[in-house]
Structure formats: C-alpha cells, structure tokens
A and B are shown apart, each in its own frame.
Chain A
Amino acid sequence: MRPFFAMIKRSHFKSRSLPYLLILPQAVVTLTFFYWPAIQGMIQSFLLSDPFGRKSRFVWFYNYIELFSDPLYLKSILITFVFSLATAAVSISLGLFIAAMANRALRATALVRTMLIWPYAVAPAISGIMWLFLLHPSYGIVAIGVKNWLGVDWNPVLYGSDAMVMIVMASAWKEVSYNFVFFMAGMQAIPKSLIEAAAIDGAGPFRRFWTITVPLLSPTFFFLMVMNIIYAFFETFGIIHTVTQGGPGGSTNTLVYKVYQDGFVGLNLGSSSAQSVVLMLLIILITFLQFRFVEKKVQYSG
C-alpha cells in the first residue's frame, strides 16, 4: 500500500495549473486562519505585553512558568478533567443503556431513533438555558425535588460542586443522542449468528449482553470516550458562558473558558496565548492517541 498522504487514483488527470487552482481556496483559508494565527499565538506566548498590545518584550518561558505555578491554572486543569470525565461517563452510560433497550425493541427502531436524535441539533448554550431553569434553586422542578426528597441544600449559585453538577447535566444531556447513534450502529453490526449460537448454548439475554455485545462494542466505546472528552473540552464553552460564567469562585472555570477569560476579559495576552499553546499540545496528544490506539481496532467481525 502506498503511504497515507501519497494516495492517488491510478487513472488521473494531467494539468499544469488546474490542480493548484482547485486547492487554492482551501490553502488560502487554512494559511490565513489556521497556520498564521497558530504561529502568532506561539510567538505571543514567549512575549510579555501591556494590555493594549503596544509594547512587548521577549521573555522566554516566563509565561509558561507563571502559568504552571499559578494555583488557579492547576485548579482549572483539575476542574476540566473532572468535568469531562463526568460528562463522558454520564452520557456514554445513558447512551449505551438506551441503545441496548432500543436494540431489543426491534419493532419501533425508526420511531425511537427519531425521538432520541434531535437533542444533537440543540445548541450547547440552549441546553444550558433549559438546565439552568430545571436546576434553578428557587424555581427549578429538579432542584425542588432534590431539596425536598434528598434533603440536599441545593444552590448552584453558591456552591461550586452544585454548579459543576449543573454544567455536567447540561453537557451530558446533549451528547446522549450522539452516543446512542453510535452504540446503535455498533450493535446492529454484530452478526446475529453469534447471538443465536450463544442462545443455543444456553446463555440468557443478560449473559449475552455482557459477554458478547459489550466486548464487541469496545472499539465504539473507546472512540466515544475520546469524542466525548474532546466535546467536553472544546464545545461546551456556550454552556459555561450561559450557565455559570466560570463561577462560583472559579469552580467551573475550564481550560477553554479560562483562555477566553484571561485573554478577552483580563487582557493578559501572553498568558492567554501560552494557555492556547498548552491546549493545542493537549489536543494533538489526544488526536495522536486516537489514531494510535483506537483507529486500529475498529473491527466488528473476524
């Protein structure tokens, strides 16, 4: 097989200028809005500037050293990991559960799918608004239920852990349908003969689920883990901005939200750029892990 980047059709065209013309729009947009800003960001992260960006001084790794000795940043790293793991755990387990039920209820698959798929189209910020109301300390019905039945002194405006639960709920709810679609597709790709053979050997529905379905779904599971964590890292900005704005007391200030806060609200350009570079390295690492460990295993039958 030819190397990944070199693949081409055996039968192709020869033209001097046309291919350049065709790739030009992509090249221009990529250079202007990806590579140039990325390089600018890297340079900026080695500079110390005044808030208006007029004067700047080269300071080597000062911004990075400051960043990693800042307890608020370390706290933000911890918050981000707790938040994304919790979001992934809630939405993946709920997605798997519903998909397992839907896969058994063969009669109404299409209808069930329609009823479950649309939260995918709801903007994170709107999911945030709805959960803000459901968990509102004085009006929210879920909040009232929690207070009366569980006796919890629920108040996300005051308590950091409550605010965290709120953004996890708003983020996970939206992602359930995505996970459901993939688990459903994964389950339908499992050969029926395998299930039937196990049934003939006397394995009941639960045993079949845990010993056949779940192991065969493990590639889907890993893939969704990665996608959900990426989602929680980068796409939940709208939820945090509408629901908690990083508060109370920085308890929901995730890494991406902090870049925005420090760069656009606090005007600390050097630190914000250094944070962007750290995020870039992080996402490169995640993408690498995904290609290295997940992509290889995506096989259902064999």
Chain B
Amino acid sequence: MVEKTPILDFLTYAFLMLGILIVGFPIIYSLIAATLPLDEVSRVPMPLIPGDQFMVNIKEAWSRGDLGTQITNSIIMASGITLGKITVSMIGAFSIVYFDYKFRKIAFASVFCTLMLPVEVRILPTYEMAANVLSPLQVVWEFLRLDGIVSWFTQNDFSLTLNWSLLDSYTGLILPLVASATCTFLFRQFFLTVPEELCEAAKIDGASPMTFFRKILFPLSKTNIAALVVIEFVYGYNQYLWPLLVTTNPKMTTAVIGLQNLIPQADDLPEWNIALGAALLVMLPPVLVVLFMQRWFVKGLIEKEK
C-alpha cells in the first residue's frame, strides 16, 4: 500500500483466505455431504472427500420434495414481487415528484410511514385481511346499515356478504408484499437529482407526461432498476413467514418452506445428503442472480441505504 511490508502482506492474504474459507465452509461442507451415500454421510466424522452420489441424491431430493413445483412457485412469487414493487413504486414516485396536486404531501407521508412496518409485526391482521380482502368494504357496508336500506327499497330481506380470499393463490403470495416504501423512496431520491432542464425541454417540445416518463425518465433509471431487481428478487424468493401463513396446499408452497419436510428428525433415517442436496438446489436461483448482476447489486445496495 504505502510502504513495503512483506510479512504483513503475507499475513493479510493468509487471513483473507481463512476468512473466505470460513464464509464458504458451510456451503463446501454441504456440497460434499450431498455427494455421499447415506452410510457415509452418517459416519462420524463425515469424510471430506466428495463421493459420486451427487446426481442420485439430487434426483431423490427433486422428486421427494416436489422441488420442480416449489421452485417454480418461488420464482413466480419472487418475479411478481419484483415486477410489482418496481412498477408500483416507480409510477408512484413519478406522481409525487413531477406533479403538483392537493394530496401530494399526504400521499408521500403515508407511504413513507410504512417504512416502519415489516410484515412480521402485523402478522395476524394482515393474514385476516388476505383471508378476505373485501372485509373493509363489508365493515363500511355494515356501518352504513346498507342491508336495511336495500331491504327497505326492495321490500325483501337482503344481506350482503363480501368474500374474496387470497389464501393459497399467487395473488395472495405476491400482493401484500408489493407495497414498498423503500423502493418509492429510492426512486423519489433519484428523480429529484434528474436535471430540471430535461423536463423543461420535454415540455417545450410538447411531450405529454407519460411520453416524458417513457422516453426520458425510464431509460435514465435503468441502473437503479437493475439494482432493485436483484435486491427485490432475493427478498421475494427468500420470504418465509408470509408464504408459511398464506399457503396450506403443498402445490402452492414455496421451495424455502418445503425444505423443512426434508430435514431428518430424531426418529428418521439421517438422510442429510438428500436434505442438503435439496437446500443447495433451492438456493441456486437467487445466488445466480446476485453473482451475475453483482456490479449493479453492490451499487444499488449502498445507494438504497443512503
């Protein structure tokens, strides 16, 4: 760096290697376990030389855990959340920053406040909401005694029950996680740094707001969008509590939750080779996304928290 310190440099690299090894060890160890047959994986201590049973274990894990269905579900959920969040918050931020209207401040303030409410702190009421999304309308309906009014008008007994359940559906997995104050906030911050001249020029040329959005603002936001795609895909794919609550049908479960069934319990055969093989398969999609889009991801992660 500044001066020559050969011994310290050597130690630096040695410790760095050690650090990387510590971080990588759980994966390497799981990978070795996933290549061994049952009798070797349950030997104490487990051999550290990879075996040749990798494909066998993976196939077994794939069919036993129904991983095809579950990974598909996870990817649908993650993509839906990513796409939904980015669309909703981008046009929302556009509205807040580029238009002057009466409820602008209230709209932004009320979105901003949700920054503090992760799904984990409002589990039960959000679940009840998902079980019947129309329940607020029902409450309003009952509060206004509209049953009685309609009965009086039609001279018949009338009662209205509104029910639309999101349980065990992709909508239910995706929609409640789509609202995101962080994304809206990020786009707002970014839009505020876009030069004023661009909008002035667009207006002089007679561009409509949506043309300005499509032709100028959207292309300028590409880096931000790329970073958010990574962050939100990982977030969506790795969700645990929400899918656990909303899905009961095994065909709708996500992969991360399905893994629970493959962990050997006290009385089972200790088939850790299969459980870990499945775990490695399930973690693959988000890991690949992060590795391939690393450059945008690191930039976005740091920007996002500023």
State whether A26 and B97 are in contact (beta carbons under 8 Å apart), knowing that A114-B294, A283-B117 are contacts in the complex.
Answer: no
Interface residues of A in 10-69 (CB under 8 A from B): 10-15, 18-20, 22-23, 25-27, 29-30, 32-38, 40-41, 44
Would B240 and A22 count as touching, CB distance under 8 A?
Answer: no
- Chain B CB within 10 A, most for which of A18, A20, A26: A26
Residue numbers of A with Cβ under 8 A of B are 5-15, 18-20, 22-23, 25-27, 29-30, 32-38, 40-41, 44, 94, 97-98, 101-102, 104-106, 112-127, 129-134, 136, 138-139, 141, 144, 157, 173, 176-178, 181-182, 185, 195-196, 199, 205, 223, 227, 234-235, 237-238, 241-242, 256, 259-260, 263-264, 269, 272-273, 276, 279-280, 283-284, 287, 298
Q: When each residue 105-147 of chain B gets 1 if its CB lies under 8 Å from chain A and 0 otherwise, what string results? A: 1011111101111101111111111000100100000000000
Interface contact B109-A5, CB-CB below 8 Å? yes
Q: Besides the contacts A5-B105, A130-B276, what 10 more A-B pairs have beta carbons closer than 8 Å?
A: A30-B114, A36-B125, A36-B136, A97-B19, A134-B26, A141-B45, A181-B301, A272-B123, A280-B117, A283-B118
Q: Do the beta carbons of B124 and A41 come within 8 Å of each other? A: yes
Contacts of A173 in B (CB 8 A): 23, 26
The count of chain B contact residues (Cβ–Cβ below 8 Å) is: 111
* With A38-B125, A139-B46 as contacts: A14 and B234 at CB distance below 8 Å: no
How far apart sit A112 and B23, CA to CA, in the bound complex (Å)? Answer: 12
Closest A residue, CB atoms, query B278: A129
Check if B209 is an interface residue, CB within 8 A of chain A: yes
Q: How far is the CA of A132 from the CA of B30 in the complex (A)?
A: 11
Q: Which residues of B contact A238 (CB under 8 A)?
A: 238, 240-241, 256
Chain B residue with the shortest CB-CB distance to A238: B240
With both chains docked as a complex, state the minimum distance between the C-beta of A109 and any C-beta of chain B, in angstroms. 11
Q: In the complex, which residue of chain B has the Cβ closest to the Cβ of A178?
A: B301
In-complex Cβ contact of B238 among A123, A178, A185, A276 (8 A): A123
